[in-house]
Amino acid sequence: MTFLLTDVEGSTALWERAPAAMRPALARHDALFEMAVREHGGVHIRPRGEGDSRFAVFASAPNAVGAALAIQRAFAVETWPTPRPVRVRIGIHTGEAELRDGDYYGSAVNRCARLRGIGHGGQVLLTEATAALARDSMPSGEALLDLGEHRLKDLTQPERVFQVTAPDLPSEFAPLVSLDARPHNLPIHPTPLLGRQREVSEVRTLLQDGSRLVTLTGPGGTGKTRLSLQVAAELLDDFDHGVFLVELAPIVDATLAPSTIAQVLGVRDIGGRPVLDGLKKHLRARKLMLVLDNFEQILTAALVVADLLATSPGLKMLVTSREPLRLRGEREYAVPPLGLPDVHHPPPVETLSGYAAVALFLERAVAVRADFAVTNENAAAVAEICTRLDGLPLAIELAAARMRLLTPQAMVGRLERRLPLLTGGARDLPTRQQTLRNAIGWSHDLLDEPERRLFRRLSAFVGGWSLEAAEEVCDLDDLGVETLDGLESLVAKSLVKQGEDSSGEARFSMLETIREYAFGQLETSGEVVTVRHRHTQHFLKLAERAAPELRGPNQVAWLDRLTTDHDNARAALTWTQGEGGDLERALRLAAALSE
């Protein structure tokens, strides 16, 4: 299929200057677009992105090019009611995509949108794939102008771009607005970012609406770095002096932060002047954004960030960290897991890949086994894999890599022990990201000893816990920190999630992948018997307190409370019945729960 995407150049300014004129202009825009598409055998799908973007699909690349030229010719001779003529940029790309609910989805459509975004009004751009199919069918006088290789804002490999020229249309345009148009050091990625359109848009909005320091937080493996780089690429045009990535993972000494930033920016130490002073002088008059990646192990360097922002009005910073920097003016953005299907009410197989977690699993699985597909037979297993991996991109990528040897159904049976299974990440990933255990271990190593004790003891809970439960189960004499303070710290470090129960009380939980790591630490510590004993005792007391209340006026409230902790009660019952358990307490708990 060949995809054609259009966009009105400078539409925001036109709407602001002449909203009344833009309404009929946009109606005429749509009519001209639809006529050209229909006459060349295409199908108008629906608006894409902004209200003035349009999307069409063609079975033939030459037909798509013909439609694009017809659109430009019609727009060029039209008398527009707006202060200046309406001009559209057009991108055309050929590839495969998934048809779902009357629309096309996939990397080929996204690639086409990225191509459209680097052009100018009146210009028609093709990728090399489309140019190869259209070149021999060009009418006399029309030609393809090779504009060379350009990096698009999906951060993947450079794309050779061609411009369609015709004797009756303009052919001279400003340089393409690709990633090469501004200074940057953003790396090339082998694949585009999947399933993060909403997050990219929200973080962009934070930075464009006045926030100068935005920190992306989340546990290891949530994709903070990849999201930050995509946002940086999207915003590159906003910064005259560029966007620069500063990788902080290799350093553990916060005093090295200024020199690390200076090295990336090419700021040299002159005359023995402190590096920070040189940095401030360099940044003072520049409009620039820094992406500070993996800030969590040098948090005391947050004062350097504050100093640079205070003295450089054109500077913005996008930070990734497992906890916020706690600076004035900081906007924290907690990166959520990828979208997941409801495994209890699974969607039809043809729509399953519409969920971001499944789409990522499918793409990575196809990369290691070309014939892999989501089918009626494996759809439930694929959905369960993504759900049991908490929608964590790193975990899903590692699981998909196992599709070379395992079926999804076989993998589900092995996910009781996730961490040993999820290894073997790409060799060009940082070591901390080559296994899920390494990713979580990186966060664990940054905890102090009291936080580590609390972290591993919290793994005894299944399905979450209250503050009261954490205090009773985890607060042994040697904890070394107030439970509330420790929980607050673990929430800030993205190892514990905080929410509310049905009564509005604070409720805490761990992602299952993190809980498995924490429970491994509990087993290694030799505390597992003691902590499980306290866990069982707490939920036995809760069940026995609830039994008489279930026959009284507070029945509904106590039913809600027991339902909330159903998984914990079941785990306690299982432990008391197992080897080394306590039969007497098992019988008491079973009796209380049966009331």
Q: Which amino acid, residue 61?
A: A
| Dihedral (CA of 271, 277, 278, 281) sign | negative
- Rounded to the nearest angstrom, the gap between the alpha carbon of residue 393 and the centroid of all alpha carbons in its chain is 8
Which pair of tokens denotes residue 364?
Answer: 């990575």
- Assigned token pair, 278: 């040189």
pTM of the model: 0.77
Give, rounded to a whole angstrom, the gap between the first and last alpha carbons of the chain: 63
Partners of 103 in the β-ladder: 100
Handedness of CA 366, 372, 374, 378 (dihedral sign): negative
CB contact at 8 A, 305 and 331: no
Residue with tokens 């971001």: 356
CA distance 439 to 517: 10
Residues sharing a CB contact under 8 Å with residue 574, sequence separation 6 or more, in sequence order: none
Q: What is the DSSP string of 160-213?
A: EEEEEE-TTS----PPP-SGGGS-B-PPP-SS---S-HHHHHHHHHHHHTT-SE
Q: Give the DSSP per-residue string, 388-451.
A: HTTT-HHHHHHHHHGGGT--HHHHHHHTTSHHHHS----TTS-GGGSSHHHHHHHHHHTS-HHH
Amino acid at 159: E
pLDDT at 269: 72
DSSP-derived secondary structure for 213-271: EEEEE--TTS-HHHHHHHHHHHHGGG-TT-EEEEE-TT---GGGHHHHHHHHHTPPP-T
C-beta atoms surrounding 416 within 10 Å = 9
Pick the closest to residue 398 from 370, 371, 360 (CA basis): 360
Q: Which two tokens stand for residue 347?
A: 């969607």
The total number of residues shown for the chain amounts to 595
Backbone angles phi, psi at 146, to 5 degrees: -75, 115
270 by Cβ neighbours in 10 Å (0-12 / 13-18 / 19+) ranks as exposed
- Per 3-state DSSP, the chain is made up of helix, strand and coil in percentages (nearest 5) of 50, 15, 35
Question: For every one of its 595 residues, what pLDDT tens digit does the chain have, with 9 covering 90 and above?
Answer: 999 999 999 988 899 899 999 999 999 999 999 999 999 999 998 765 557 899 999 999 999 999 999 999 999 999 999 999 999 999 999 998 877 777 887 888 889 999 999 999 999 999 999 999 999 999 889 999 999 999 888 878 889 999 999 999 999 999 998 888 889 999 888 788 888 989 999 999 999 998 999 999 998 889 999 999 999 999 998 999 999 999 998 888 999 999 999 999 998 876 667 899 999 999 999 999 999 999 998 999 999 999 999 999 999 999 999 999 999 999 999 999 999 998 888 888 888 888 999 999 999 899 889 999 999 999 999 999 999 888 999 888 888 888 888 899 988 887 766 666 666 555 555 555 556 777 788 788 889 999 999 999 999 999 899 999 999 999 877 888 899 999 999 998 889 999 888 778 899 999 888 888 899 999 999 999 999 999 999 988 888 887 777 677 777 777 888 888 888 888 888 888 776 566 677 777 777 666 5
- Spatial contact of 590 and 573, defined as CB atoms under 8 Å apart: yes
pLDDT value, residue 47: 61
